[in-house]
Structure 1
């Protein structure tokens, strides 16, 4: 799949392997070898191809390079484009596309959960939590809520000594009951 820097975020990121790569890199910088360790079920050729698509689309950036055994090892970080599907793009998607995108997202959560259950780390459930709560909004409330949430968690988005990586996922659905 050839993608350009104008390709939609959903077109690029809501592919199962690309989504996992973006999630793995989020908040840290990783080499291709480190990504391969984190995604052992993904064939190396597939991983390299999907990394190239993400770099081409501006979602990943090469943040470092070093020669190693006659080749160049690249280190990747998140690129300039935000790997978030915005309201405009979601609104433009057909119902079937939106369903696939949402199920891809849920599938990635399931993979994270499965890794937690298979972990031998004694503290693996220390940060586990899930639930549904309801809030009341109108269209004018949504943007300030999202900005405030982003500001609140911004300080926790970078890897730091002594910190554990925790997946925080949000879903906003209109509950028409």
Structure 2
């Protein structure tokens, strides 16, 4: 396992980010992943899946035999493809720009898929806003803990009729008070 390798070094690759974005909150077979990412060559996809598996960012949650081959079902692994505060602080400006650009790219892709879909009922679940908060370090830690407590029940599908909705947060400290 690549435990000593920084998670940012692993995830901040365009193909790996696409894979992670596809698997966020759900599981997919490698075939489904190939279909969802037709612009990525099969060999390239498998190479990046292998790197993510080795780093515990992805996990194989099921294997089944299909026509003499083993089909794997993948999901986010233990490391959850999350770049923590310590790693963010260790990144230089170029790495931070790259990480943030990848994050925004994922949001933009989700938004474009919504706009490309003809079903206007999907827009009823759309929302975006910006709020300025006043927090110290302890407040921020408390907010993040409380937010996870609120969100945890909604991370897994619990009943039919529920729709997947991407929820993103961005914390950017203002440089002048």
TM-score normalised by L of structure 2: 0.92
Alignment correspondent of 2:88: 90
Whole-Å separation in 2 of the counterparts to 1:107 and 1:26 = 15
Alignment correspondent of 1:7: 5
**Aligned 8 A contact 2:29 2:74 in 1:** yes
**Aligned 8 A contact 2:62 2:74 in 1:** yes
Whole-Å separation in 1 of the counterparts to 2:96 and 2:39 = 26
Whole-Å separation in 2 of the counterparts to 1:173 and 1:32 = 36
Structure 1 position 80, deviation (Å): 1.2
Structure 1 position 107, deviation (Å): 1.1
Alignment correspondent of 2:173: 174
CA deviations on 1:150-175 (whole Å, 9 max, x unpaired) are 11111111134221111111100012
**Aligned 8 A contact 1:16 1:108 in 2:** no
Task: Give 1:97-176 correspondences, 5 Å limit.
Answer: 97-160=95-158, 161-176=160-175
Paired residue secondary structure (2:125) = coil
Q: CA RMSD in A?
A: 1.5
Whole-Å separation in 2 of the counterparts to 1:124 and 1:20 = 22
**Aligned 8 A contact 2:58 2:80 in 1:** no
Structure 1 position 50, deviation (Å): 1.2
Runs of 4+ in 1 over 3 A off after TM superposition: none
Structure 1 residue runs of 5 or longer lacking an equivalent are: none
**Aligned 8 A contact 2:30 2:71 in 1:** yes
Whole-Å separation in 2 of the counterparts to 1:121 and 1:39 = 22
Structure 1 position 32, deviation (Å): 0.7
- Matched residue count: 175
**Aligned 8 A contact 2:28 2:73 in 1:** yes
Structure 2 residue runs of 5 or longer lacking an equivalent are: none
Structure 1 position 38, deviation (Å): 2.0
User: Higher helix fraction: Structure 1 or Structure 2?
Assistant: 2
TM-score normalised by L of structure 1: 0.92
